[in-house]
Structure 1
Amino acid sequence: MMEKERLRTSIIPIFIPHIGCPYRCVFCNQWRITGHEGVPDASEVSNLIDTYTRGVEKRHWEAAFYGGSFTAIPGSLQESLLEPAYEALQEGRIDAIRCSTRPDCITGPILERLQRYGMTTVELGVQSMDDVVLERARRGHTAAQVKDATALLRQYGFTVGHQLMPGLPGEDWQSLIRTTDAICRLKPDIARIYPVVVIAGTELADSWQNGEYQALTIHEGVQRAAYMKQQFLSKGIQVIRTGLQATENLDDPAQVLAGAYTPAMGEMVDTRRYQLQLFRVLDQILSACPGQTCVISYNRRDTSRVRGIRNVTVHRSRLRYGREFLWKEDDAVPLYHIQVKTDGGTWLIDTDRGRCSIIEIND
């Protein structure tokens, strides 16, 4: 078991855009988001798994049914798609099966079917826990149904994922905070955060073009996603993705009309999280003794997060404090931590938990 946990996890994405979904959300155009059209069949699923895994070094492979509402499609189609994945699972060619679906398409019999085919992780398209926002997005489900689905998935022993979409019509910061708090109380095992992107061919695109909807800027998307991610991590919720995966369609300005899309979203979000925490500690330390020396150390794997994308945190620290700091890679510093050492002592920031502890105080 320990050997498998150390293996690199790789996803085999099997896209089923729009299939089974009883609603058309205002933001949704899965054909363009995923870059895939049409419905796969069992042979395509089998070939896809074989293509990904053949001749590749051993990894933790997961077959993932993405893009639509998997549990809303007819049971016979679910089974035909799951069969080749289950066969690969039994043969040891893959290690897990997962899917994404709607909160209102979760029942005991549905989950029993998924279990028979070896599925262990179900991600729910939650988007918001504000019923007003959900209604304006034409989601067709309520926050209460998210709670019920999460509880049922836990009852059946599934790993639970929540997918959130900050920036939907009707959401403001108070709504975002309420959604974040609600998700923290439900405490899914994993979460994905996708700031809203305005895709051509959607109702949201029409609203944006008519001036009825104001899209998030990239900066605003980073702010909201960073807030959510920090809160989730502090509660032990693993955030496995921030921002849409880059595709040829999403990199086409004729397809993405507005909103918080950038291939660097994840890096920008972590830059903001680390920067806010570092500056908060530096403010406290340097307000008491502004002239003292200061060394900022971090694990080399954290370099881009601490220094910031394109060294933005280094530049902003120079402007903010009117001085230079020594930035130092040090693998003795735990990953996801920042160490600040001054003449007066040493502080250690746990960036995931959002906490700072004093390691040493100098006389």
Structure 2
Amino acid sequence: MKTSIIPIFIPHIGCLHRCVFCNQWRITGHHGIPSAEDVTSLIQDYTKHVQEKRHWEVAFYGGSFTAIPEEMQERLLKPAHQALLNGTIHGIRCSTRPDCITSPILDRLRFYGMSIVELGVQSMDDTVLQFSKRGHTAEQVLEATQLLKKCGFTVGHQLMPGLPGEDWHSLRETTLKICELKPDIARIYPVAVIENTELAAMYRQGAYIPLSIHEGVCRAAYMKQAFIEHGISCIRTGLQATKDLDDDTQVLAGAYAPAMGEMVDTKRYQMQLFKLLDKLSGESVVISYHRSDTSRVIGYHNVTRKRAACKYKQHIRWCEKKNIQPGNVIVQTILRTYRLDMNANQVYEV
């Protein structure tokens, strides 16, 4: 059954700090504080004309939900809880800070039917967190994750490769620590420099060098591949495109692209495929895959097929086949057949 999100945006509400990268009004395209009536109305608007069965979830995004006043939390949660009880929706989730998770807070969330909590982790490097003015530590991420799991919540981690002070060593360490904590889900948002943020001022002053789109794709692909291999579902890569984010006067630099998710999957598949093709020099090759994997295998805008044609001298044929399991790619030469399990990053001779 398809899962559909009913987003309730609370930009900057409850935030204890102003992070150097953050302008939630630009990122979400929303302003102001929603009322209980707004929540009820949004649930009705999203669900009333949909005929097929869906798994509906109300999601409180954009601020630090568990840090807003208790009375406001309850005011927003009550209409969502009522919709949950009457079967209009099937789940409630929120995003918040790692240092705003306690047992009493989680008791309140459970009382109102919430089951998924996403933490704005961003990095597991305390130096990067400090430079970004996050106001929490990596240790608090660990503690919050453990408490959420103990209380039976589905746990999400949101990461931001490319923050000030991060290098590849830092990124690898963050990735390793997240894999050890093993949240249920993850989102990866390579850093974009957004107007009216401290990061924008740092960029103009030359104090911050942003990632290029290519660098953002490479770092996000590394993280996503590692998460998938450790059983962590990566449910989003890159910021959701909005009118504001597509305005180059608002996104000044950095790794923002509307098709970031497709570009990251292209990179993941291409690296694994080329690693095998490098060993098959001179042999004609047939590359087969399930139709659902076509864009990942041949690449966003056909980039992998084009690069393969330039990189390798042998003839390469690309084929969709129904009998191949999604996530697997079959590479055949005259003498050998290989199966690439893209999610496990493994090659098997068959």
Alignment TM class, shorter chain as reference: over 0.9
Aligned position for 1:264: 259
Equivalent-residue separation in structure 2 for 1:330 and 1:320 (angstroms): 25
2:7 is matched with 13
Q: For 1:121-161, what per-residue CA distance to the aligned partner results, in whole angstroms no more than 9, with x for missing partners? A: 00000000000000000000000000000000000000000
Counterpart Cα distance in 2 of 1:35 and 1:61: 22
Partner of 2:298: 307
Give the equivalent residue in structure 1 for 2:43. 49
**Kept in 1: contact 2:217–2:264 (CA 8 A):** yes
Distance (whole Å) between structure 1 residues aligned to residue 332 and residue 84 of structure 2: 50
| AA of the residue aligned to 2:64 | S
Q: Distance in 1 between matches of 2:285 and 2:199?
A: 48
Counterparts of 1:69-88 in structure 2 under 5 Å? 69-88=64-83
Q: Which amino acid aligns with 1:320?
A: K
Match for 2:231 among 219, 233, 236? 236
- Residue 316 of structure 1 aligns with which residue? 307
With normalisation by structure 1, the TM-score equals 0.95
Shift of 1:281: 1.2
Q: Confirm whether residue 171 of structure 1 aligns to residue 162 of structure 2.
A: no
Counterpart in the other structure of 1:113: 108
Residue 146 of structure 1 aligns with which residue? 141
Query: Secondary structure of the residue that 2:106 maps to in structure 1?
Result: helix
Q: Secondary structure at the match of 2:216?
A: helix
User: Of 335, 342, 355, which aligns to 2:346?
Assistant: 355
Partner of 1:162: 157
1:39 deviation in Å? 0.2
* Distance (Å, rounded) in 2 between the aligned partners of 1:13 and 1:163: 17
The residue type paired with residue 305 of structure 2 is V
Structure 2 residue aligned with 1:95, among 90, 103, 117? 90
Q: How many residues align?
A: 349
- For residue 345 of structure 1, the aligned residue among 332, 336, 348 is 336
> Cα deviations across residues 39-61 of structure 1 (Å, max 9, x unaligned)?
00100000000000002022111
What is the Cα-based RMSD across aligned positions, in Å?
A: 0.7
Give 1:227 deviation, angstroms: 0.4
The worse-fitting range, judged by mean Cα deviation, of 46-55 and 317-326 is 317-326
Query: 1:324 Cα deviation (Å)?
Result: 2.7
Q: Distance in 2 between matches of 1:111 and 1:346?
A: 52
Give the secondary-structure state (helix, strand or coil) at the position aligned to 1:205. Answer: helix
| 2:211 maps to 1:216 | yes
Distance 2:267 2:49 in 1: 39
- State whether residues 95 and 119 of structure 2, in contact with CA within 8 Å, keep that contact through their aligned partners in structure 1: yes
Match of 2:21 in 1: 27
Note the alpha carbon deviations across 1:55-104, whole angstroms, 9 max, x for none. Answer: 20221111000000000001111011000000001111111000000000
CA distance in 2, matches of 1:299, 1:39: 45
**Residues 284 and 314, structure 2, Cα contact 8 Å, conserved in 1:** no
Give, in whole Å, the separation in 1 of the partners of 2:278 and 2:118.
40
C-alpha displacement of 1:294? 1.2
2-structure distance, mates of 1:331, 1:229: 26
1: distance between equivalents of 2:128 and 2:57?
33
- Within the candidate set 319, 336, 342, 1:328 is matched to 319
Q: Distance in 1 between matches of 2:343 and 2:243?
A: 32
**2: distance between equivalents of 1:235 and 1:356?**
17
Equivalent position SS for 1:257? strand
Q: Distance in 2 between matches of 1:346 and 1:158?
A: 43
Q: Which moved more, 1:239-248 or 1:320-329?
A: 320-329
How far 1:323 sits from its partner (Å)? Answer: 3.1
Counterpart amino acid of 1:42? A
Q: Is the 8 A contact 2:195 2:250 kept in 1?
A: yes
- SS of 1:81's partner is helix
Deviation at 1:293, TM superposition (A): 2.6
CA distance in structure 2 between the aligned counterparts of 1:293 and 1:278, rounded to whole angstroms: 15
The structural deviation recorded for 1:358 is 1.4
1:245-265 residue CA offsets vs partner (Å, 9 max, x unmatched): 000010011110111000010
Alpha-carbon distance in 1 for matches of 2:260, 2:26: 19
Measure, in 1, the Cα distance between the counterparts of 2:325 and 2:273: 15
Residue 310 (structure 1) shift = 1.1
Unaligned runs of 5+ in 1: 1-6
* 1:119 alignment partner, SS class: coil
**Percent identity for Structure 1 against Structure 2:** 63
User: 1:278-321 CA distances to partner (integer Å, 9 max, x unpaired)?
Assistant: 0111112x14xx2x331100000100000001111111111111
Distance 1:55 1:219 in 2: 41
Contact 2:13 2:65 in 1 (8 A): yes
Question: Structure 2-normalised TM-score?
Answer: 0.99
